[in-house]
Structure 1
Amino acid sequence: MDPTIKHVAKKANVSTATVSRILNNKPGFSLKTKKRVLEVIEELGYQPNAIARGLINGKTETIGVLMPRLLDMFASRVLEGIDEYVHERGSSVIVCNTDNNRDRTMKYLQFLGEKRVDGIIFVSQLLEEDYYRMMADMKIPIILVSTISYEFQLPYVKVDDYHAAFSATQYLIQKGHKKIAMIAGEQTDPVAGIPRIEGFKSALKSAGLTPDDRFIVSTGGYSHSDGKRGMEQILARGLDVTSVFACSDELAVGAMSVAYKKGISIPDDLSIIGYDNTPLAEMSFPPLTTVAQPLYDMGNKSAEMLFNMMETGERSESRIMQHKVIERETVKEILC
């Protein structure tokens, strides 16, 4: 029979309450008593039941993570950073694939509430009022990753999308490009769509170039197929462009695949820069120049912030992470 907390208490000659306080780092015992109890726990091979611990300290030692897509490389890197930190803290992660679908998101939030998770990390989708209200009713800490809410003041971890898009466009301009097209995601998205488009336009204006909406293609998403569709639209418009700024690596690689089929050489005939710096950027041919988001670090930092809130009850400060342009082989310098 597996040892129980009662067996530990009896052998250590203390009460079960004392063993419980030691296991949950509560005060009320001497160092000598703690040492003796821990020695008995090791001797007996006692493993506290997670459910029992939850009943004692009101925690389930699990957190919920909601993501719009689990199969893309963006999500996998963010999740890797979250999971690494959570695992080191001895807790577990429940991952929910919302598919950017409202009904699925609401059902998953209900599920996480029923599971009594200790906190939630909400990744890369717009925080609607219904989502916020349901999470607020749980009375647990919430961290946003790669998204922001101006209506509901929750701490977040993200890059400055406006600045990052400005940097990508500025990089192309510094390489001599003046006719630059943009493959955007959702043009009306206030989190990533609008800031990146505005950053793109601002960089053009700063260089004395006039933004033209014909050069901006909104695909409604950030996938490989969206990138193919976006590139087809650019070509169909007959735009005499020398470069393309794609708002995700998947968009960029999708655009490159269309260029290849059309006999357009990258970067000799057309330069392309992506966004995210996922492993896909290194695996593409030629390797993709891109704007790096520190995706693993964003996930890891969000988990650290969440645990700090869970332990202290205090709100964490939001974090703007640094982006940078990673030069590879898809941007050609145009000499004047």
Structure 2
Amino acid sequence: MKPTIRDVAKHAGVSISTVSRVMNAPETVVEDKRSRVLEAIGALQYQPNGFARGLIYKKSDTLGVMIPDIENPYYAGLIRGMQDAAVRLNHSLMICNTDRDHDRLLSYIHSFYEKQVDGIIFASDAMHEDYYEEMLRHRLPFVLASTNAPQFDIPSVDIDDEQAACDAVRHLIENGHKAIGMISFPLGDTISGYPRFDGFQRALREHGQQAYETCVEFAAHRFEDAYAAAVRLLAAHPELTAIFAASDEFAMGAISCVRDSGRSVPEDVSVVGFDNIRMAHMFIPKLTTVAQPVYEIGYRAVCKLHELAMTGEVKELREKLPHKLIIRESTRTL
């Protein structure tokens, strides 16, 4: 049977609370007792279990992660990066799916607090004021991954969504497309909604194609929503030769819609996505898309949270990682 803290206390001739103080704050214990406890720990080869260490050190080596949609393939790469960083830094992850449900998200924050997580990573969603206040109330360090909150001083790791969207639409324009539409996230629901929409409009304005600034249909977050949005978009603007989609899943929905309408991609309509999820190069046609460094965002978020939890601050508050346009088969030059 493994020795317990009670065994250590009995062997050293001290109380259990003295053993705890030796492990937690040794400077508060007189040298004689401290020496006896340390000798007992060595003699018995005592090692506190993870739960006990959490109680003693007020530290669980566990990080809470909140993501909005665990079925979305984008989060596979993000979580993989988080997991690899967590292993390197001796943390474990507790992952919760919020479904963008306000009450569920607040309950997860409270649950993380009760389970004594060392900090929270809030991924790819808008940071509302009540979320922010709840985490402050529980005094939990937290970091944003693949999102940002310029109104708050919260450490974050993401990309420049507006510039990335502008680069994607500029690619279409430079390849001769003049009638370009967009399938966008709802502007108020996600942190990347407005920036990617703004990037789309900025590229059109810079090239004198303002007539198509409002050629936009909005979809929730899934393939089926994007398919329906593409139906509406092409019905309203049958002259379109290109579509910029706010995510790769949206792009795949748009491509399926174009095909089902009897047209081809990219021969009739070019499509650009956003994210470069794993399926992007497996889909037919292979998807032209903006590559986010998804793995690196997840990895850096854990490193940043570790830094914050250990030191109380981070060297770089808002970290922007580079994006890259990957040109594949779903776009062509007119």
Counterpart in the other structure of 2:33: none
Supply the distance in 2 between the matched residues of 1:116 and 1:192 (Cα, whole angstroms). 31
Counterpart in the other structure of 2:239: 240
Name the TM-score, length of structure 1 as normaliser: 0.87
Contact 1:69/1:99, CA 8 A, preserved across alignment: yes
Deviations 1:170-208 (A, max 9, x none): 111111111111111113347211111111111112122
Equivalent position SS for 2:243: strand
Q: 1:88 to 1:3 in 2, by over 3 A?
A: farther
Bigger drift between 186-195 and 140-149 goes to 186-195
Q: 1:23 to 1:329 in 2, by over 3 A?
A: farther
Deviations 1:65-102 (A, max 9, x none): 11110111111211111121112222211111110111
Contact 1:250/1:280, CA 8 A, preserved across alignment: no
The Cα shift of 1:310 comes to 0.8
Q: 1:166 to 1:22 in 2, by over 3 A?
A: farther
Counterpart in the other structure of 2:134: 134
Counterpart in the other structure of 1:326: 326
Deviations 1:197-232 (A, max 9, x none): 11111111212222434411112x231112101110
**What RMSD, in angstroms, separates the aligned Cα atoms of the two structures?**
3.0
Identity of aligned residues (%): 38
Q: 1:2 to 1:332 in 2, by over 3 A?
A: same
Supply the distance in 2 between the matched residues of 1:214 and 1:134 (Cα, whole angstroms). 38
Bigger drift between 204-213 and 267-276 goes to 204-213
Amino acid at match of 1:63: L
Contact 2:179/2:212, CA 8 A, preserved across alignment: no
Within a 5 Å distance, the mapping from 1:267-282 to structure 2 comes to 267-282=266-281
Q: 1:262 to 1:118 in 2, by over 3 A?
A: same
Equivalent position SS for 2:66: strand
Supply the distance in 1 between the matched residues of 2:184 and 2:177 (Cα, whole angstroms). 18
Counterpart in the other structure of 1:121: 121
Amino acid at match of 2:224: S
Equivalent position SS for 2:325: strand
Amino acid at match of 1:134: E
Counterpart in the other structure of 1:34: none
Contact 2:204/2:213, CA 8 A, preserved across alignment: no
Q: 1:7 to 1:225 in 2, by over 3 A?
A: same
Deviations 1:120-169 (A, max 9, x none): 00011111111111100121211011222132221111111110000101
Contact 2:85/2:302, CA 8 A, preserved across alignment: yes
Name the TM-score, length of structure 2 as normaliser: 0.87
Deviations 1:43-72 (A, max 9, x none): 987643111211221111111111110111
The Cα shift of 1:262 comes to 1.3
Q: Which runs of 5+ in 1 are unaligned?
A: 29-36
Contact 1:185/1:218, CA 8 A, preserved across alignment: yes
Q: 1:329 to 1:8 in 2, by over 3 A?
A: farther
Aligned length: 325
Counterpart in the other structure of 1:69: 69
Please say if 1:195 is aligned against 2:195. Answer: yes
Amino acid at match of 1:234: L
